[in-house]
Amino acid sequence: MDVVATRTLVIWCPAWNGNVRDFEVVVTALEAFTPLIELTDPGTCAFATRGPSRYFGGDKALVHEVVRRTQRALQTLGNPGPVRVGLADGPFAARVAAFREEALVTVVAPGSSATFLRGFSVHVLDNHELTEVLVRLGITTLGAFVDLDRSDVLGRFGREGEGAHRLASGLDNSQPLARRIPPDLEVVVELDPPVDRIDQAAFVAKGAADELHERLSRLGAVCTRVLVGFESEHGEVRERLWRHEGALSPTAISERVRWQLDGWLNGSPDTRPTGGLERLLLRPDEVGPAQGREVGFWGQQSLAAERAARGVARVQGLLGPDAVLAPVRRGGRQPHDQLVLAPVAGFALAEGRTVAAVATDKPWPGQLPAPSPTVVYRRSLEAHVLDSHRHSVGVNARGVMSAVPKWLGVGTDPKIWFDVAAWAGPWPLDERWWDAESARRRARFQIVTNDGKARLMALAQQRWWVDGTYE
């Protein structure tokens, strides 16, 4: 049997990232292991393994059972998708392990979190300002960051940098900050008459979150984990723990209340409440000392963020949680993959970041060189590229072109042909060759024509396409 300690297991379902209603099915299935499921965002959750690991016979047996039950829950939704699991000594290391692309399941041995983290990029710290400075200083990995003296890090980057240094060292930042929670911080709101709409309950939750924040501020404290609970008029109760490694602002708490409401009120018929909601509970489960935050000289950055969050919440209340989209930057080899639109329900607007950050600093062999196209077409445009003999230009298996491009025509049957003034490439791409459905093999080119336009071209299965343009 494995050595059992107080460790953290993180479950990430990339296919359902930001989809609150579907992910509720996963969380409900995981409650068979422990009622203390901790959510960070729709698509990612975690729980402490000490009790469940003992019951199932060790960490490896527990992970196997978690994957099995999660996949079974996702299959009821018609598209199981991958399930990634990470298990380590602390929440940060476990989350990094779950987000690894090299394996679906990563179990870090007890006491090995610091060693495991050393090779990862500093970007996994999810602190853009800090990592940008570190990279400029030539510190690109967590190992190089940990090798710095902690007192030097504190003197240069302050408490925030010291906290990041602790995370990179495999230490849990919340443990030394945790403090005893005063009993009068709990906020309870009675809803009379009961409400059955998300926008109505979310409006009440915003006032409750403001009150909770005010109580914490008077004590010089911030909330890093909060329990959100609802009770229906028929006695049905739904409670969830939500964590944030920084400080949960009133807007951030309101967003998590909305996520939980959407998952419960719009869930499957056997899980949604049979009556309206008559009680809201906000209970800080973990608090720490307030360490302040930086805003603009006149606070305009914070004010703008709050105004934007209120506007988005209003539109979501009118049109639904998936009606508002925002761009998300992700890693990838193709321009289509690097920037996608995702529902704002999967964003932490109060912190100005996505809650499902995917590392974009991977090497990505085969990625196009800079600059990126300014316009990327949702559907690539069919095109034709001919040589001086009016023959279609091709590329063989070795990446060698059949001839020099001479003319370019856009469309199925081009009426106008442009002279090719300059070109670069090919950049071959052979991606996901192990999966027949998603495998892609193509050669990319940058072509400039005599009309002054530069286009990103692709040749796949002897057919030419325009993927984007440079303007």
**What mean pLDDT is predicted for residues 170-184?**
56
Write the CA distances from 450 to 380, 389, 390, 406, integer angstroms.
Answer: 21, 19, 18, 11
The band of 448, judged by pLDDT with boundaries at 50, 70 and 90, is very high
For position 406, what pLDDT does the model report? 92
For position 357, what pLDDT does the model report? 44
Q: Which of 66, 98, 73, 44 is nearest to 242 (CA)?
A: 44
Q: Which pairing describes strands 44-48 and 8-12: parallel, antiparallel, or unpaired?
A: antiparallel
CATH 3.30.1490.100-classified regions of the chain: 183-293
pLDDT at 295 over 80: no
pLDDT at 384 over 90: yes
The band of 408, judged by pLDDT with boundaries at 50, 70 and 90, is very high
CATH 3.30.70.270-classified regions of the chain: 1-113
For position 415, what pLDDT does the model report? 85
Angle at CA 123, nearest 5°, toward 303 and 11? 90
For position 79, what pLDDT does the model report? 61
Tokens of 298: 């006149």
pLDDT at 396 over 70: yes
Cα–Cα distance measured from residue 244 to residue 40, given in angstroms and rounded to the nearest whole number: 6
The band of 1, judged by pLDDT with boundaries at 50, 70 and 90, is very low
Cα–Cα distance measured from residue 328 to residue 311, given in angstroms and rounded to the nearest whole number: 19
Place of tokens 């990319």: 444
This prediction has a pTM of 0.56
Beta bridge partners of 267: none
The band of 267, judged by pLDDT with boundaries at 50, 70 and 90, is confident
Please enumerate in sequence order all residues whose Cβ is within 8 A of that of 397, keeping only pairs 6 or more positions apart, or say none: none
pLDDT > 70 in the chain, percent: 79
pLDDT at 367 over 70: yes
**Average pLDDT, rounded, for the chain:** 79
pLDDT at 45 over 80: yes
For position 177, what pLDDT does the model report? 37
The band of 172, judged by pLDDT with boundaries at 50, 70 and 90, is low
The reply to whether omega before 193 is within 30° of 0 (cis) is yes
Count CA atoms within 13 Å of residue 210 on its CB side. Answer: 7
**What mean pLDDT is predicted for residues 342-349?**
59
Which carries the bigger pLDDT value, residue 43 or residue 3?
Answer: 43
The band of 117, judged by pLDDT with boundaries at 50, 70 and 90, is very high
- The domain made up of 1-113 is a member of CATH 3.30.70.270: yes
What strands, in cross-sheet order, belong to the sheet with 84-88? 105-107, 84-88, 8-12, 44-48, 38-41, 237-243, 221-232, 277-289, 187-195
pLDDT at 360 over 60: no
Q: Phi first, then psi: what are they for 114, rounded to 5°? A: -60, -45
pLDDT at 328 over 80: no
Which carries the bigger pLDDT value, residue 223 or residue 422?
Answer: 422
Which carries the bigger pLDDT value, residue 309 or residue 88?
Answer: 88
pLDDT, tens digit, for every residue of 48-100? 888 888 888 888 889 888 888 888 887 776 665 678 899 998 888 998 998 88
Outline where DSSP puts E strands in 27-166: 38-41, 44-48, 84-88, 105-107
End-to-end CA gap in the chain: 61
- The domain made up of 183-293 is a member of CATH 3.30.1490.100: yes
**What mean pLDDT is predicted for residues 274-284?**
88
Cα–Cα distance measured from residue 169 to residue 161, given in angstroms and rounded to the nearest whole number: 12
